[in-house]
Structure 1
């Protein structure tokens, strides 16, 4: 009996030690995204889902969660402040954060910002009610326009684009509101705003909600000023919205856009980053099948598009293993 008791105690101790070791090995990562009405929040969820499912296959014990945030600029500031390790951000604000320019002049350059991979194209959407009488950006002068919540990449990008016209939101629009992506479609359909601007993937829920719920239409934004902006800043490019993408759309629309990118702090755990990148790229077809946002993404393009900062060592290690980097 005494021998059995000792054996049971020893077995229990071994199990407890093993459980303690497993818990000690567990790592956590939280991905900063944006409002839940756009493409960033579900994209963060898809990344976490594929990483969490890969624990057994890849032999890691990482737990990934998603956080709704103010968007690109807020995410990059949080990385710089040490409040986030990984986040999604527009390529333009990734560029400015690393250099301490534009919206980041007050906090200075974040030379510890690192690139993981690029995602979908954030297309510049201008969505207006039909009774606003607008067919292009020029027609929105003097209107009530939502330009994105404070701290978002959308707001910052609209302000930058307006600066190319030698104006700003408060001067150009009759009123510039700063509702979240979750609020703007309802506000449009309720007649509280005439239009909204949103840099997001084509078919994002906030856009489809507006076009499906009320008589709203997506506008062209394509002129010489935008052409000059694209020429000067290579992270911008033309973006085509195919005919029939949204309810009531009867022609192809031309606007502009830029890549959404996954970025991290240089201090982010290398094993966490490596396993995150590996989980996505080893299951690339399954990942891109999660949403129509990703139809144009390729493995090769995801390694280079929108990249203006150094690659994180964890991502670089994986890319070299599979021949995507030399």
Structure 2
């Protein structure tokens, strides 16, 4: 009798241990499941694209469960958009005009064909056409560029030459310069060899600030009926205002226009992953803005509207509908 009881107790004990072990075995893989790894294509390490992408990526990974995110330095849209299309990147930063070219298979992407998988998340900071004139040059408004000696960055050259009224200007002293010639342009502006430099650049720009500290400058107001028509005629452009006191000696705000940087993804990235990223970003936008000026003062209504040149990702649409921002 005693032996029978002992044997039954032993069987019961072993059965309990087996069940417990099996149960632990079932829950262990879930508890130790690998985090979803996301890769973010940005830009050069010293630029806005990398700093913004790295901040968003790290903040998202630290503030949510189940995700890891790594920002990669790149050559910008030339590298970001093809790698997004191939699946190497999950998110990228690119300017609105580059996004439109990739979506339609034009410009740099002409030989690659249209990217039908490209999707928008939201826009971030402006990259406006910024015209820096030397004080005393007689240039304060857009029409004052007529007949002046103006050096144009490549992107600025494309915008300036689109101005509807430019056919009536004397542009014989307008010249395009390469990105590597920035120091030479500052020297030429401050010495009086040229009257103005036009660049497409986010603010605050280190180059503009250094120029303002080298010689007195003023920013040229780019507004009026002609510019309104230009902006209204394309979805890649939007109006922008460079605030007062961003640069030394520039004590008034300056109206202008230009592109916006946008965060992009692909239909190959899951709706849930995009939803989680978008939700975290918008819910923490004030704190993120304190850490980077490119994210400061952004308004959700503009972020989901301006420069959205490709369709929204379904994961982003889900969050925006929850907030009542879109139908």
Please give the range of the TM-score, normalised by the shorter of the 2 chains. Answer: 0.7 to 0.9
Q: How does 1:128-139 map to 2 (within 5 A)?
A: 138=145
User: Structure 1: which 5+ runs fail to align?
Assistant: 1-6, 148-154
Correspondence for 2:83? 78
- CA distance 1:224–1:301, change in 2 (3 Å): closer
CA RMSD of aligned residues (A): 3.9
Q: Does 1:50 align with 2:59?
A: yes
Q: How does 1:172-321 map to 2 (within 5 A)?
A: 173-174=174-175, 176-179=177-180, 184=182, 186-189=183-186, 196-212=197-213, 215-222=216-223, 226-321=227-322
- CA distance 1:139–1:110, change in 2 (3 Å): same
Correspondence for 1:150? none
CA deviation digits over 1:153-175, x for unaligned, max 9?
xx446435435557xxxx86445
Could you tell me how far 1:311 is from its partner in structure 2?
1.6
User: Structure 2: which 5+ runs fail to align?
Assistant: 1-16
- CA distance 1:105–1:191, change in 2 (3 Å): same
Could you tell me how far 1:280 is from its partner in structure 2?
0.7
Could you tell me how far 1:235 is from its partner in structure 2?
3.7
Could you tell me how far 1:115 is from its partner in structure 2?
0.9
- CA distance 1:293–1:104, change in 2 (3 Å): same
- CA distance 1:325–1:251, change in 2 (3 Å): closer
- CA distance 1:252–1:312, change in 2 (3 Å): closer
Correspondence for 1:4? none
CA distance in 2, matches of 1:320, 1:231: 26
CA distance in 2, matches of 1:214, 1:65: 40
TM value normalised by structure 2: 0.72
* Conserved 8 A contact 2:156-2:199: no
Could you tell me how far 1:87 is from its partner in structure 2?
1.0
Structure with higher Rg: it is: 2
Q: Does 1:127 align with 2:132?
A: yes
SS at match of 1:306: coil
SS at match of 2:70: strand
Q: Number of aligned pairs?
A: 295
Q: Quick one: which of 104, 112, 124 aligns to 2:109?
A: 104
Q: How does 1:155-166 map to 2 (within 5 A)?
A: 155-156=154-155, 158-162=157-161
SS at match of 1:80: helix
Could you tell me how far 1:256 is from its partner in structure 2?
1.1
* Conserved 8 A contact 1:134-1:140: no
Could you tell me how far 1:265 is from its partner in structure 2?
1.7
SS at match of 2:291: coil
- CA distance 1:99–1:249, change in 2 (3 Å): same
CA distance in 2, matches of 1:123, 1:84: 27
Correspondence for 1:89? 94
* Conserved 8 A contact 1:126-1:198: yes
- CA distance 1:309–1:246, change in 2 (3 Å): same
Correspondence for 2:73? 68
Could you tell me how far 1:103 is from its partner in structure 2?
4.1
* Conserved 8 A contact 1:142-1:175: no
